[in-house]
């Protein structure tokens, strides 16, 4: 009998023990936080992902569940140089080691090269996918070469005209002083 694994409620230990693989392609709109980062909401964008589980021996000889996750999406963002739309590729390729509780995870995550998470019978793989894609968003999305040169000047003719219309404060003081002398 083949077990079916559901990404929204993944039995991590069973998934790793079976050496199972699952994959999917879902619309970006189903990942609310990621969808909120887009320049404009679009319904045609997809996230492709795949996960594979395996058991590895730990230092004490016990079997430890691991999950390898890959995810990919191409999302429109605002170029921070020219302020035009730029398509940003988000690529995730990570291994996760699972432990029995939060205390162990917190202690071991600091020292481990891999991410250490808590195993459960209803682990939210979609949540992990979204978290990892969000972390791949660059701090300053930008084109390699902007389609139009960025406007770097700060000249505003209206600003200069408004400055010319203001009376000089020292001229006003001079006028007050001369009025006092009368």
Return mean pLDDT, the chain. 87
This prediction has a pTM of 0.78
Number of Cβ within a 10 Å radius of residue 47:
24
Distance CA 129, CA 117 (A): 13
- Is the pLDDT score of 122 beyond 60? yes
- Full domain range(s) for residue 59: 7-150
- Is the pLDDT score of 91 beyond 90? yes
Question: Is 49 domain-assigned?
Answer: yes
Query: What percent of the chain lies above the pLDDT cut of 90?
Result: 57
More confident of the two residues 75 and 105: 75
Question: Is 68 domain-assigned?
Answer: yes
Please, which residues bridge with residue 33 across strands?
none
Contact present, 133 and 71 (Cβ < 8 Å) = yes
Q: Which range (38-52, 136-150, 151-165) has the least confidence?
A: 151-165
Cβ contacts of residue 18 below 8 Å, gap of 6+? 3, 5, 53
What total of structural domains would you count in the chain?
1
pLDDT digits (tens, 9 = 90+) for 17-26: 999 999 999 9
Pairing of β 21-27 and β 115-118: unpaired
Distance CA 68, CA 71 (A): 10
Contact present, 26 and 45 (Cβ < 8 Å) = no
The label of the residue with tokens 């084109």 reads 143
pLDDT digits (tens, 9 = 90+) for 32-42: 999 999 988 78
Phi, psi values for residue 44, rounded to 5°: -95, 0
pLDDT digits (tens, 9 = 90+) for 153-180: 667 667 666 666 666 777 777 777 776 6
Pairing of β 46-57 and β 115-118: unpaired
Question: Is 67 domain-assigned?
Answer: yes
Question: Is 135 domain-assigned?
Answer: yes
Question: Is 163 domain-assigned?
Answer: no
pLDDT of amino acid 1: 47
Distance CA 128, CA 86 (A): 25
If you average pLDDT over residues 107-132, what whole number do you get? 90
Question: Is 25 domain-assigned?
Answer: yes
Question: Is 155 domain-assigned?
Answer: no
Question: Is 160 domain-assigned?
Answer: no
């Amino acid at each position: 009998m083949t077990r079916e694994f559901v990404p929204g409620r993944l039995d991590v230990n069973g998934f790793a023990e079976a050496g199972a693989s699952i994959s999917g392609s879902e619309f970006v709109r189903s990942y609310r936080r990621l969808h909120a980062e887009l320049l404009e909401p679009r319904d045609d964008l997809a996230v492709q992902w795949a996960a594979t589980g395996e058991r590895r021996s730990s230092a004490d000889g016990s079997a430890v569940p691991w999950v390898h996750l890959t995810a990919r999406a191409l999302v429109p963002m605002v170029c921070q140089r020219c302020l035009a739309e730029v398509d940003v590729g988000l690529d995730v390729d990570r291994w996760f080691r699972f432990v029995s509780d939060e205390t162990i995870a917190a202690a071991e995550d600091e020292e481990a090269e891999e991410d250490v998470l808590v195993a459960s019978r209803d682990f939210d793989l979609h949540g992990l996918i979204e978290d990892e894609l969000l972390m791949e968003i660059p701090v300053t999305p930008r084109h390699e070469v902007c389609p139009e040169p960025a406007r770097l000047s700060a000249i505003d003719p209206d600003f200069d005209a408004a400055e010319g219309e203001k009376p000089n404060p020292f001229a006003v003081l001079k006028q007050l002083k001369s009025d006092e002398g009368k």
